[in-house]
């Protein structure tokens, strides 16, 4: 690892994807993700790889679809409304067992959204917003270094399950800078017997994607179950004796961790579960909690609660009827003050649970 | 942990000053985050960034309570209420001659610094952001070494392909540093 | 004396309606691909619609999403410049829902071959109006006939030929053996041009749709040869091969 340097999140992810073996990038400009394609437009040419500025988000994702079916490492990036347009293509990819990496540098909001960071894409990206019956693995790093490390290995994850992998950052993580370093360029590349290369060897893979309801359905179920079993990733902080547990992902989780430290200093028994994969949701982290837990607080950059639904489902692994509270901090990062005040309200019984 | 806000008009170099300080922290084996203001207001001419430096990984990168506010114009004083008691507000005296009453704090230190004038006097009229970095380095001289910081500043511009301005930037950095030191005496 | 020509090996029995033009076009394409020795260096991507049925051809190829085949094919070609790529789409797929991707592939001078089958309606969904539907033509979504004072049938080959400097653009028909022979020559030109790296190539093929037109196969062929050609002249519109 080289010495760490300050780098903007969007560019760091782009560089990590290059080093992870990305063969082709196809994308369409959209704030706040655009630096990804700006950065790659030169770097991909320098490295003799393929860069396409596509005519639309639809075209971009379908370019990635084609490339992924050739066994090539393909990536696109976008933001909320652009991701919405990509959903159909991503569903095709899940159906056709296509590996690819899709970066969502989220905005906050509905429709056109806003230029603020937010987590309002949570349910769409974790459930898959295209023609149904599939799931995407969704990584939600909370630092630029973690985003680099996840991106670097994301193609292998996509290839392992032959499925799209989403990396969800946000406007803040995309635009901010912090120190990071990069691993070496990957040189080893797997070959795939399903990859289309024109010789006809891709026919079997094609037929599997186009097979009967039973065959396709069972294959997808097996794939999804394997992802749930193998890919849950999370970080816990001070949960061993925690009575109230915050749940937060991405950049807001760092304010939660600061809050836990501050409250612990005052003797409060609080902890944090930080999902690193928001799908599969880290239910296993909840299963490890003790029976002293009195409630969960989902801290999320939404308006209408989203992750709190997954938190509520996951509490079944602790015990029944644990209250789940929701702190919507909207399109700005939450402050320690704000989270602390909410916690105090919960503890005093002044805030009603959502579930 | 030190938390700083650099705020001013677009073009005053506040974002760059913040980036230099982040690099200065890294040069001291510290950790840093830099986060720009983000949104429509960027295009209206207002710019700001929050820089946090710490010995361990910085938690949330956004503004909680600032130790230092660098206010390069009057609108930047809206951050005055986010400065912690005992903190410092550095004003660009060319743009912030008086503090409006409703922004006045009695529990923080104010310093008025002619960033542009300092830059012009050493013959680097466009170097006021480097002067600003020198000023902040002086203010944090219990954490930052003057020459290590200067080298980090030069490295920052080197990486941007602007290494040829090294001489002027060195002068500007030291001028800002020395000016702040004289105020602190 | 009639020649006994063996069907291309990769071509397997298809599921098109009796009298449909797709089967002939598919065979012509595969004859050209085989004659060039490209069967094992060939990717045939399909749009959504009746062209989905080309899955019976045993070559590599994607079932693309509606309208997006040109986009997928463009990217794949850049990753494998020495492989032959054909994107096979209907008029609804390529000219209506996929108009953007089609024009942009041509605009980008993408070195691929687009074959569009124009039967003046959405065939697979049961015969709805397309932008190719003739004025007065009755479809399931133009029950009183497509308005005669409305938009004219869309002429994409002409547009591309006039605007985007393609390598080869032509319109053919499967109405007669003579026209099918011409179609084959066009496909040869297009594939050869692609393999020589000359740029975007496209052939639109007028084809009968007896099922949705409510005509016998014979009458449907006649309709292609007469009424359709009033709006869709046959011939070569661009050729710098």
B39-76 pLDDT per residue, tens: 444 444 579 999 999 999 999 999 999 999 999 999 99
Q: What is the 3-state secondary structure (H, E, C) of B93-118?
A: CCCCCCCCHHHCCCCCEEEEECHHHH
C9-34 pLDDT per residue, tens: 999 988 899 999 999 999 999 999 99
On average, the pLDDT of chain A sits at 95
Q: Which residues contact A286 (CB under 8 A, 6 or more apart)?
A: A273, A314, A315, A317, A318
CA distance A167 to A12: 13
Give the end of a domain, one of A230, A261, A286.
A230
Most confident region among A254-263, A310-319, B103-112 by mean pLDDT? A254-263
Give the end of a domain, one of A178, A197, A230.
A230
Is A267 part of a structural domain of the chain? yes
- Domains parsed from chain B with CATH numbers: 2-184 (3.40.920.10)
Q: pLDDT at position B38, please?
A: 55
Is A182 part of a structural domain of the chain? yes
The CATH number for A91's domain is 3.40.50.970
Tokens of A7: 């780098």
Is A355 part of a structural domain of the chain? no
Q: pLDDT at position B104, please?
A: 87
Instruction: Give Cα B22 distance to the centre of its chain.
Output: 10
- Beta strands A137-139; A50-53: pairing state: unpaired
- Beta strands C235-239; C168-173: pairing state: antiparallel
pLDDT at A88 over 50: yes
Contact B31 A179 (CB under 8 A): yes
Q: pLDDT at position B40, please?
A: 43
Whether chain C lies against chain A with 3 or more Cβ pairs closer than 8 A is yes
Report whether A159 contacts A74 (CB < 8 A): no
Report whether C34 contacts A178 (CB < 8 A): no
Q: pLDDT at position B43, please?
A: 46
A293 plus A221 within the same structural domain: no
Angle among Cα B3, B4, B10 to the nearest 5 degrees reads 150
A161 plus A194 within the same structural domain: yes
| A&C contacts, CB < 8 Å | 113
Q: pLDDT at position A2, please?
A: 57
Q: How many domains does chain A have?
A: 2
A134 plus A186 within the same structural domain: yes
Shortest Cα–Cα distance, A28 to chain C (Å): 13
Interface check for A258 against chain B (CB to CB < 8 A): the answer is yes
Q: pLDDT at position B80, please?
A: 94
Percent of chain C with pLDDT over 90: 94
Q: pLDDT at position A201, please?
A: 87
Kindly list the residues from chain C whose CB atom is less than 8 angstroms away from the CB atom of residue A196.
Answer: 43, 60-62, 76
A214 plus A266 within the same structural domain: no
A258 plus A199 within the same structural domain: no
Q: CB atoms < 10 A from the CB of A321, how many?
A: 8
Interface check for A89 against chain C (CB to CB < 8 A): the answer is yes
- Domains parsed from chain C with CATH numbers: 22-239 (3.40.50.970)
- Residues on B contacting A at a C-beta cutoff of 8 Å: 19, 22-23, 26, 31-36, 38-40, 57-64, 159
B23, B58, B64: residue with CB nearest A6: B23
C58, C79, C83: residue with CB nearest A67: C79
> Which of these, C145, C184, C202, C189, lies nearest to C30 by C-alpha position?
C184
Report how far apart, in Å, the C-alpha atoms of B68 and of each of B25, B62, B148, B183 are: 15, 14, 21, 16
Kindly list the residues from chain A whose CB atom is less than 8 angstroms away from the CB atom of residue B39.
Answer: 114-116
pTM of the model: 0.96
The CATH number for A324's domain is 3.40.50.920
Q: What is the mean pLDDT of residues C120-139?
A: 96
Is A195 part of a structural domain of the chain? yes
Is A353 part of a structural domain of the chain? no
Burial class (CB in 10 A: 0-12, 13-18, 19+), C121: buried
Q: Mutate which of A5, A6, A11, A254 to test chain B, going by most B C-beta atoms within 10 A? A: A6
Contact B61 A176 (CB under 8 A): yes
Report how far apart, in Å, the C-alpha atoms of A35 and of each of A11, A104, A105, A227, A279 are: 6, 13, 11, 31, 26
A58, A96, A198: residue with CB nearest C83: A198
A216 plus A343 within the same structural domain: no
Q: pLDDT at position A78, please?
A: 98
pLDDT at C61 over 90: yes
Contact B59 A255 (CB under 8 A): yes
Kindly list the residues from chain A whose CB atom is less than 8 angstroms away from the CB atom of residue B20.
Answer: none
Question: E strands within A9-63?
Answer: 24-27, 50-53
Interface check for A64 against chain C (CB to CB < 8 A): the answer is yes
Instruction: Check residues B95 and A299 and name the one with the higher pLDDT.
Output: A299
Report whether A91 contacts A58 (CB < 8 A): no
Contact B36 A114 (CB under 8 A): no
A265-280 pLDDT per residue, tens: 999 999 999 999 999 9
Q: Mutate which of C68, C69, C109 to test chain A, going by most A C-beta atoms within 10 A? A: C68
Q: What is the mean pLDDT of residues A176-185?
A: 97
Is A300 part of a structural domain of the chain? yes
Q: Mutate which of A44, A62, A196 to test chain C, going by most C C-beta atoms within 10 A? A: A62
Q: How confident is the model at residue B34 (pLDDT cuts 50, 70, 90)?
A: very high
Give residue A321's domain range: 235-347
A201 plus A311 within the same structural domain: no
Give the end of a domain, one of A230, A262, A286.
A230
A95 plus A212 within the same structural domain: yes
Q: How confident is the model at residue A66 (pLDDT cuts 50, 70, 90)?
A: very high
A44 plus A70 within the same structural domain: yes
A247 plus A106 within the same structural domain: no
Contact B33 A177 (CB under 8 A): yes
C40, C61, C72: residue with CB nearest A63: C72
Q: How confident is the model at residue A20 (pLDDT cuts 50, 70, 90)?
A: very high
A154 plus A240 within the same structural domain: no
A42 plus A171 within the same structural domain: yes
Shortest Cα–Cα distance, A36 to chain C (Å): 19
């Amino acid at each position: 690892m080289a010495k760490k340097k300050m780098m903007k999140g969007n560019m760091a992810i782009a560089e990590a994807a290059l080093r992870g073996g990305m063969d082709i990038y196809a994308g369409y400009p959209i704030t706040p993700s655009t630096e990804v394609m700006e950065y790659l437009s030169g770097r991909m040419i320098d490295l003799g790889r393929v860069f396409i500025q596509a005519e639309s988000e639809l075209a971009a994702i379908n370019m990635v679809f084609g490339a992924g079916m050739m066994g090539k490492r393909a990536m696109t990036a976008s933001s909320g409304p652009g991701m919405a347009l990509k959903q159909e293509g991503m569903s095709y990819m899940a159906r056709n067992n296509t590996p690819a990496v899709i970066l969502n540098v989220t905005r906050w909001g509905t429709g056109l959204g806003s230029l603020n960071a937010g987590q309002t894409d949570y349910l769409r990206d974790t459930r898959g917003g295209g023609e149904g019956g599939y799931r995407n693995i969704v990584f939600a790093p909370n630092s630029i270094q973690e985003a680099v490390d996840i991106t670097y290995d994301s193609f292998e994850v996509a290839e392992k399950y032959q499925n799209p992998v989403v990396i969800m950052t946000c406007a803040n993580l995309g635009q901010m800078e912090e120190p990071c370093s990069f691993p070496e360029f990957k040189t080893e590349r797997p070959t795939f017997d399903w990859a289309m290369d024109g010789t006809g060897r891709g026919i079997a893979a094609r037929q599997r994607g186009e097979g009967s309801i039973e065959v396709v359905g069972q294959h997808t179920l097996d794939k999804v179950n394997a992802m749930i079993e193998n890919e849950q990733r999370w970080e816990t902080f001070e949960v061993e004796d925690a009575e109230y547990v915050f749940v937060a992902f991405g950049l807001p989780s760092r304010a939660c961790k600061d809050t836990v430290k501050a409250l612990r200093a005052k003797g409060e028994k609080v902890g944090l579960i930080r999902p690193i994969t928001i799908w599969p949701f880290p239910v296993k982290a909840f299963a490890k909690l003790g029976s002293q837990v009195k409630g969960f607080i989902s801290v999320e950059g939404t308006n209408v609660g989203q992750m709190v639904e997954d938190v509520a489902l996951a509490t079944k692994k602790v015990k029944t009827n644990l209250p789940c509270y929701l702190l919507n901090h909207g399109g700005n990062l939450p402050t320690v003050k704000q989270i602390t005040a909410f916690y105090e309200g919960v503890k005093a019984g002044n805030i009603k649970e959502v579930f | 942990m030190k938390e700083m806000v650099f705020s001013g008009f677009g073009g005053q170099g506040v974002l760059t000053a913040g980036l230099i300080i982040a690099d200065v922290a890294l040069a001291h084996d510290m950790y840093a985050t830099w986060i720009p203001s983000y949104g429509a207001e960027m295009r209206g001419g207002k710019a700001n960034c929050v820089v946090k430096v710490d010995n361990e990984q910085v938690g949330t990168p956004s503004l909680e309570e600032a130790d230092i506010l660098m206010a390069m114009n009057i609108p930047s004083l809206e951050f005055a209420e986010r400065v912690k008691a005992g903190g410092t507000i550095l004003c660009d005296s060319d743009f912030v001659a008086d503090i409006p009453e409703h922004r006045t704090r009695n529990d923080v230190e104010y310093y008025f610094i002619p960033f542009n004038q300092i830059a012009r006097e050493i013959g680097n009229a466009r170097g006021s952001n480097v002067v600003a970095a020198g000023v902040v380095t002086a203010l944090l001289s219990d954490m930052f070494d003057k020459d290590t910081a200067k080298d980090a500043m030069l490295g920052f511009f080197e990486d941007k392909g602007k290494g040829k301005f090294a001489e002027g930037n060195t002068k500007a950095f030291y001028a800002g540093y020395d000016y702040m030191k004289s105020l602190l005496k | 004396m009639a020649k006994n020509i063996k069907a291309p090996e990769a071509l397997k029995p298809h599921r098109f309606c009796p009298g449909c033009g797709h089967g002939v076009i598919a065979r012509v394409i595969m004859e050209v691909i085989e004659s060039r020795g490209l069967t094992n260096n060939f990717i045939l991507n399909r749009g959504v619609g009746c062209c989905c049925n080309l899955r019976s051809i045993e070559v590599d190829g994607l079932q693309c999403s509606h309208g997006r085949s040109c986009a997928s094919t463009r990217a794949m070609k850049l990753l494998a410049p020495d492989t032959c790529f054909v994107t096979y789409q209907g008029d609804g797929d390529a000219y209506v829902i996929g108009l953007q991707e089609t024009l942009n592939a041509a605009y980008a001078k993408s070195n691929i071959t687009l074959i569009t089958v124009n039967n003046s309606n959405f065939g697979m969904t049961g015969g709805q109006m397309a932008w190719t539907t003739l004025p007065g033509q009755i479809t399931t979504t133009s029950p009183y006939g497509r308005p005669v004072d409305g938009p004219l049938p869309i002429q994409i080959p002409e547009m591309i030929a006039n605007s985007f400097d393609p390598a080869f653009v032509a319109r053919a028909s499967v109405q007669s053996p003579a026209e099918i022979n011409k179609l084959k020559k066009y496909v040869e030109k297009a594939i050869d041009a692609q393999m020589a790296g000359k740029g975007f190539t496209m052939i639109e093929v007028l084809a009968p749709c007896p099922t949705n037109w409510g005509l016998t196969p014979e009458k449907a062929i006649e309709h292609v040869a007469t009424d359709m050609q009033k709006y869709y002249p046959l011939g070569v519109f661009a050729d710098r091969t």
